[in-house]
Amino acid sequence: MVSVEVDGAERLLDVLREKLNLKGPKEGCGRGDCGACTVILDKETVPSCLVLAARLDGSEITTIEGIGSTEALHPLQEAFIQAGAVQCGFCIPGMITSAKNLLDSNPSPTRDEVREALVGNLCRCTGYVRIVEAVMMAAERMRSQ
Amino acid sequence: MEIEIFVPRTEDELFEFLETNGHQSKLVSGATDLLPRVWRGQEKPVTLVDVSRLAAFRYIRREHGVVRIGALSTLSDLTKNKFLGNQYEALRRLGLIFGSPPVRNLATVGGNLAASSSSEDLIPIFLALDARVRLKSKTTYREIPLEEFIRGKRTTTLMSNELLAEVSFSELKPNSWCTFDKVGRRERVIISLVSLACALTLEHDSRTVADVRLALNRVRGKLPERARETEKILLGNVLDEFKLGEACKALETELRLTSDFRASAAYRTKVAQNLLRDLLRHCQERIGQEGDLAA
């Protein structure tokens, strides 16, 4: 539980990065198009660049910092590394956040379902193929655990 | 940026605030359209009134043959809803072609309608469903056709002390289907160059048009409208290749599109005709397959 004062029209993204020092969510476009700022708000993904922080009293927010840790990577993070799905890394926090949210509700997605779930996360580096493979790999591992 | 924000916890708090401050405030729910405009300086409200916590306006229900959708229902609420039957394919299609999952989780029905532009996908759909909107204030409410609510680009008939509370429409009759499609520059996360919503009802022969409502993101101006002249061509007639051809010609005559940096008028017109043919055929096939559906 954290308590923070926010200014009138401050965005969740700004609060996370500037006031809570959570630099995982990134500002890519500021319009909700690119997905680099994706976080999980009360079990749903949202673009944090479009969420007014003042409305969030009592809400639960998960950023990439809350998914796995340096000591114990989440299966998605392991899979992204092993699949070679990371290049510059800028889109990855948002990608993994969206992928985690998908697997939370759909542990056995098809490739098409993975692509649809990630449709709001743009990547300029990888061409998405290895990202989709990584999510499928992680889903299989998580099912077998 | 000096903007105040007010987050009402109850309806009473909201309407009390709007009575005195509504004229210098902007209502915001998902903020997916408004906030970027605020950051760009295109909107300069003194106060943002964030109504997203008013759960009372987030519902989808049927009452006495009328579907009522609370304006704070999100696009995800709409697209994942299992309550409305297969006939409302237009709404389920939004789960594929409206924005992305994070945006659908945030964007609201009311916000999309109140944005009042040719980019708003819900407007053609609800025009095709012949919807009405409920505008609520502290002491009263009024219901008007959606067509009357949309006045101009980003301009509606909402008064400064009102909230767009609900959109409603009569349930589709048996032997009906409502679908929607849009064409943009890519497959997903697109601003529509052309979008078309089609609500078709056939007689029991599954060929004769009993009712048809067509709405596009642009018809005569730069706002969504019904294509009523094209509808007249189809009404009461058998939906065959000849009649589809006539309807496409009628649509070409009815459309008064303009070219802009996104697309030419000629392209938009051709795409609109293609969509008309495809969606009418699709509706006819679905009605034929699903049989005599209860609404």
* Complex-level ipTM: 0.94
List the one residue out of A130, A139, A76 whose CA is nearest residue A107: A139
Asked if A52's CB is within 8 angstroms of B35's CB, the reply is yes
Cβ–Cβ below 8 Å for B1 and A9: yes
Chain A environment of B38 (Cβ under 8 Å):
9
Chain-chain contact of A47 with B35 (C-beta, under 8 angstroms): no
pLDDT at B294: 42
pLDDT of residue B295: 41
Look at residue A90 in the predicted model and tell me its pLDDT. 98
Q: Which chain B residues in 159-198 lie under 8 Å from chain A, judged by CB atoms? A: 188-189
List B residues 31-50 in contact with A (Cβ-Cβ < 8 A).
Answer: 31-32, 35-36, 38-39, 48, 50
**pTM for this model (two decimals):** 0.94
Confirm if B138 and B165 have CB atoms less than 8 A apart: no
Burial group, residue B122, by CB count within 10 angstroms (0-12, 13-18, 19+): buried
Nearest CA in chain B to A59: B53
In angstroms, the separation between the Cα of residue A9 and the nearest Cα of chain B is: 6
Q: Which residues of chain A have pLDDT under 50?
A: none
**Cα dist. A121→A64, A90, B5, B94, B236 in Å?**
14, 11, 29, 18, 47
How far, in Å, are A139, B245, B285 from residue B80 at the CA level?
Answer: 23, 35, 24
In the block, which residue shows the tokens 């379902």?
Answer: A113
Question: Nearest chain A Cα to B99, which residue?
Answer: A120
| Among the partner residues B5, B96, B101, nearest to A120 by beta-carbon distance | B101
With CA atoms as reference, report the closest residue to B158 among B166, B169, B170, B149: B149
pLDDT digits (tens, 9 = 90+) for B100-129: 999 999 999 999 999 998 889 999 999 999
Name chain A contacts of B189, Cβ cutoff 8 Å.
Answer: 33, 119-120
Contact B2 A8 (CB under 8 A): yes
Instruction: List the single residue in B32, B48, B189 with the smallest CB-CB distance to A9.
Output: B48
A115-135 residue pLDDT tens: 999 999 999 999 999 999 999
End-to-end CA distance of chain B: 49
B96 by DSSP, 3-state: which?
Answer: helix
Residue B188 is predicted with a pLDDT of 86
Rounded CA separation B209/B201 (Å) = 6
Helical spans, DSSP H, in chain A: 12-14, 75-82, 92-105, 111-117, 129-144
Check residue A29 and give its pLDDT. 94
The residue behind tokens 């909402």 is B158
Q: Tokens for B3?
A: 């903007």
Kindly state whether A4 is in contact with chain B, defined as any CB-CB distance less than 8 angstroms.
no
Q: Would you mind telling me the total number of residues written for chain B in this entry?
A: 295
Return d(Cα B199, Cα B226) in angstroms, integer. 11
Which residues of chain B fall below pLDDT 70?
1, 291-295
Q: B23 vs B47, B251, B260, CA distance in Å?
A: 10, 40, 33
